[in-house]
Amino acid sequence: MAKAHGCDNCNEITGASTIDLLNQDLAKKVRTAYDRLEDRGMSACLFGSGGTCCKICNMGPCQIIDGVDTMLGVCGATADTVAARNFARIIAAGTAAHTDHAREMVRGFIATAKGETPHEIKDVDKLHKMAALFGIETEDRDKNEIALELGEKALAEFGQQDGTLTFLKRAPKKQQQIWKKLGVEPRGVDREVVEMMHRTHMGVDQDYKNIMLQGARCALADGWGSSMLSTELTDIMFGTPVPKRAIVDLGCLREDYVNVTVHGHEPLLAESLCLAAEQEDMLELARKAGAKGINLAGVCCTGNEILMRRGIPVAGSFIQQEMVLATGAVEAMVVDVQCVMQSVAQVVKEMHTDIITTNYRAKMPDSVHIQFEEHDAMNSAKEILKKAIGNYKKRGPHYIPKDKKFDVVVGFSHETINYMLGGRFRGSYRPLNDNIINGRIKGVAAIVGCEHFKYADDVHFKIATELIKNNVLVLATGCAASALGRRGLMRPEAAAEYAGPGLAEVCETVGMPPVLHVGSCVDNSRLLIALTEMVNEGGLGEDISELPACGTAPLYMSEKAVAIGQYFVSSGAHVVFQNLPTSGAKKFNKFLLDGMKELYGACWAVEEDPIKLAHHMIKAIDEKREALGINKAQERILMDMQMRRELEGKALPGVGCGGEGEPHGGLAE
Ligand code: MSK
């Protein structure tokens, strides 16, 4: 029988609808990653897990045992050197993935500015703000002209050889000085990835601390460079997310519709499919095939992108991609890049479903390839949809779970948080800072990253509920966000059900959930800006390392999550993972878990148990509160009805109503 999880209470993590589906004969035939994990029947290699397997040159592979002279690498490399090189290469690979995605988005942005795509420049306010950062004149200029100059300058940052990346100047001043002093300011995005690969080649950098200086620079090129460019320019092109109600559940597939799931990462493809699916010729074709229309649903981070901006439902996260297909109700799964399991093409072998690859970088056996051309986006999108519509009549036995369609409120860009808490006319992080200072909110935690199959546990939910119970506001991205949405933590009502009294009071006043969906994995850059805004607002220290804030990517799967973790640490935010591939090298491991603090004011931590992990984060937040002198109980003001009415009058009308436009409202300070 197909498994969705390795433990008895698997509905805890994947949701009741997945269990419902797995009980159907149809789905029982499907083999999932859990089955394959079991089939493998072997535990992970200790050298690989500890980071001390070196296969960088052909004298090996060498398995190093730390402290054993006869178990050095053939070249003499120590465990610390090998683990540092491996870790740094993970950062480089993660940065490269974000960067190649970002470059495509910037190229799409330029094509849009030239009028060569069906998209348009939507967020002119953000366009002007970004243009100002790049020193671009905006007065009396057409938005497309400004966008073209911005796009070209952004594109130049990838190949830049000298100087520093433009967005570094958005960071708190103290942070910028730390980077300058350490010599880790990224010069150009591609250069940092290339240098990282070179320095970890055989016989180059043999000092783990020096290797990790470049590790930090490479990761910063991701967070404050490519990822941030991608998020900001995508927002300008497709609109900055605002709160909306939506669904995160397998049950979002529709019986009488052509179901098309979009899986991967780059929203250019997904947005084009959204536009094409609304066109009358496509709808007419769907009706001719006997369907009522076309139902788009997301998977993984493409899902998060269209969920945040359009409120289009997410059918499943990374861990559920095979389950989405096991319904037998999907006419086509359209994939682009990253996090697509090769197994998806095998799952549908006996079904009517097509796996459609769309990017020349990412092809797969047993799939159909339709190249997505950004300059001919609408025709590419229509060709893909036609293929899906053509499959509708061939749909055989299928099962769409009917229960537990979890409602979520999503769309919390850092601008939205600003407006929500501070109000339309005085949008600021002041109320958030004040609520942290007065203790209603203890601090802020980020739960980001993937899901995987190693830990048979309800990790994200356990961590998040423990944090919000202790009045820590949670911001989530990527598949972690989908997992938390599936468990009902992104409903405003979740505040009363799970949050501590202080956080619940703030959430109820504003009408927001205690866990905010901030976007896809690329959108972790929004968190950097949110943290910076908190610093700039005042009262919580001079840089990110002084904030009562902490991050985790507990179930990290992808190399991108390590790059993200490192750019947070190098930006001053403490980060806790459940495991790191560095435990086989004592000095290097200690450097990550402690020594980095001296350099950046933050370091990595490892804690396997989710509840202990949450308490590790709470302790880190409490220590910051202590250092800021705000960890004392504040006198609580009891509000009478009149005060409440006044607050509610300022609260965000329509949060979660799916309304377009700028959110407005406010929270009493
Ligand atoms: S998709 S990188 S599994 S978050 Fe961004 Fe999800 Fe992690 Fe892929």
Give domain limits for the chain: 60-238, 249-394, 408-632
Indicate whether residue 556 lines ligand 1 (CB < 6 A). Answer: no
For residue 70, with 0-12 CB atoms within 10 Å meaning exposed, 13-18 middle and 19 or more buried, which class applies? exposed
Q: Which atom of ligand 1 is nearest to the CA of 521?
A: 5
Distance from the CA of 448 to the center of ligand 1, in angstroms?
9
Return the SS3 of 120. Answer: coil
Q: How far is CA 315 from CA 198, 325, 453, 464, 483, in A?
A: 41, 10, 19, 21, 11
Indicate whether residue 478 lines ligand 1 (CB < 6 A). Answer: yes
| Tens-place pLDDT, residues 532-551 | 999 999 999 999 999 999 99
Indicate whether residue 481 lines ligand 1 (CB < 6 A). Answer: no
Identify which of 479, 525, 556, 562 to mutate to test ligand 1's pocket (most ligand atoms within 8 A of the CB). Answer: 479
Rounded Cα gap, residues 594 and 605, in angstroms: 8
- Of 242, 19, 621, 586, nearest to 8 by C-alpha is 19
Indicate whether residue 444 lines ligand 1 (CB < 6 A). Answer: no
Distance from the CA of 537 to the center of ligand 1, in angstroms?
31
Rounded Cα gap, residues 397 and 313, in angstroms: 23
Indicate whether residue 562 lines ligand 1 (CB < 6 A). Answer: no
Q: Do 408-632 and 60-238 fall under one CATH topology?
A: no
pLDDT reported for residue 213: 98
- Of 576, 461, 473, 571, nearest to 525 by C-alpha is 571
Distance from the CA of 477 to the center of ligand 1, in angstroms?
9
Indicate whether residue 557 lines ligand 1 (CB < 6 A). Answer: yes
- The helix or strand, by DSSP H or E, that contains position 517, with its residue range, turns out to be strand 515-519
Question: 247 forms bridges with which residues in the sheet?
Answer: 407
Distance from the CA of 561 to the center of ligand 1, in angstroms?
8
Q: How far is CA 68 from CA 44, 63, 143, 585, in A?
A: 22, 11, 64, 12
DSSP-derived secondary structure for 159-178: H--SS--GGGGGS-HHHHHH
Indicate whether residue 580 lines ligand 1 (CB < 6 A). Answer: no
Indicate whether residue 335 lines ligand 1 (CB < 6 A). Answer: no
Q: Which atom of ligand 1 is nearest to the CA of 558?
A: 2
Residues 6+ apart with CB under 8 A from 284: none
Identify which of 227, 558, 560 to mutate to test ligand 1's pocket (most ligand atoms within 8 A of the CB). Answer: 558
Distance from the CA of 522 to the center of ligand 1, in angstroms?
9
Residue owning the nearest CA to atom 7 of ligand 1: 450
- Tell me the CATH number for domain 60-238: 1.20.1270.30
Rounded Cα gap, residues 499 and 435, in angstroms: 15
Indicate whether residue 450 lines ligand 1 (CB < 6 A). Answer: yes
The CA dihedral of 475, 480, 485, 486, to the nearest 10 degrees, is: -160
Rounded Cα gap, residues 587 and 584, in angstroms: 9
Indicate whether residue 298 lines ligand 1 (CB < 6 A). Answer: no
pTM of the predicted model, to two decimals?
0.92
Distance from the CA of 30 to the center of ligand 1, in angstroms?
22
Structure tokens at 332: 């086509």
Distance from the CA of 42 to the center of ligand 1, in angstroms?
25
Indicate whether residue 558 lines ligand 1 (CB < 6 A). Answer: yes
In this structure, are residues 587 and 594 in contact, taking their beta carbons and an 8 Å threshold?
no
Distance from the CA of 482 to the center of ligand 1, in angstroms?
10
- Tell me the CATH number for domain 249-394: 3.40.50.2030
Indicate whether residue 99 lines ligand 1 (CB < 6 A). Answer: no
Q: Which residues of the chain have pLDDT under 50?
A: 1, 5-13, 647-669
Rounded Cα gap, residues 104 and 222, in angstroms: 15
Residue owning the nearest CA to atom 3 of ligand 1: 450
Rounded Cα gap, residues 475 and 242, in angstroms: 15
Indicate whether residue 522 lines ligand 1 (CB < 6 A). Answer: no
In this structure, are residues 297 and 312 in contact, taking their beta carbons and an 8 Å threshold?
yes
Q: What is the DSSP letter of 223?
A: I
Distance from the CA of 2 to the center of ligand 1, in angstroms?
22
Residue owning the nearest CA to atom 8 of ligand 1: 339
Residues 6+ apart with CB under 8 A from 446: 474, 475, 476, 477, 524, 527, 549, 550, 551, 552, 568, 573
Rounded Cα gap, residues 623 and 254, in angstroms: 49
How do beta strands 549-552 and 443-447 pair?
A: parallel
pLDDT reported for residue 551: 98
Q: Which atom of ligand 1 is nearest to the CA of 477?
A: 4
- Of 580, 471, 579, 571, nearest to 524 by C-alpha is 571
Rounded Cα gap, residues 304 and 262, in angstroms: 10
Whole-angstrom Cα Rg for the chain: 24
Residue owning the nearest CA to atom 2 of ligand 1: 558
Distance from the CA of 226 to the center of ligand 1, in angstroms?
17
Distance from the CA of 1 to the center of ligand 1, in angstroms?
26
Q: What is the largest CA-CA distance in the chain?
A: 77
CA atoms within 13 A on the CB side of 336: 26
Distance from the CA of 291 to the center of ligand 1, in angstroms?
32
Q: Which pairs from 587-594 meet CB under 8 Å and 24+ separation?
A: 587/80, 587/208, 588/51, 588/79, 588/80, 588/83, 588/84, 588/87, 588/208, 589/83, 591/208, 591/209, 591/212, 592/87, 592/212
Identify which of 100, 248, 301 to mutate to test ligand 1's pocket (most ligand atoms within 8 A of the CB). Answer: 301
Indicate whether residue 555 lines ligand 1 (CB < 6 A). Answer: no
Distance from the CA of 331 to the center of ligand 1, in angstroms?
23
pLDDT reported for residue 12: 45
Distance from the CA of 558 to the center of ligand 1, in angstroms?
7
Identify which of 319, 524, 560, 564 to mutate to test ligand 1's pocket (most ligand atoms within 8 A of the CB). Answer: 560
| Tens-place pLDDT, residues 42-91 | 788 999 999 999 999 999 999 999 999 999 999 999 999 999 999 999 99
Indicate whether residue 318 lines ligand 1 (CB < 6 A). Answer: yes
Domain 408-632 has CATH 3.40.50.300: no
pLDDT reported for residue 666: 32
- Of 119, 667, 98, nearest to 428 by C-alpha is 667
Distance from the CA of 87 to the center of ligand 1, in angstroms?
19
Rounded Cα gap, residues 175 and 187, in angstroms: 16
Q: How far is CA 3 from CA 7, 8, 313, 402, 648, in A?
A: 9, 11, 24, 20, 46
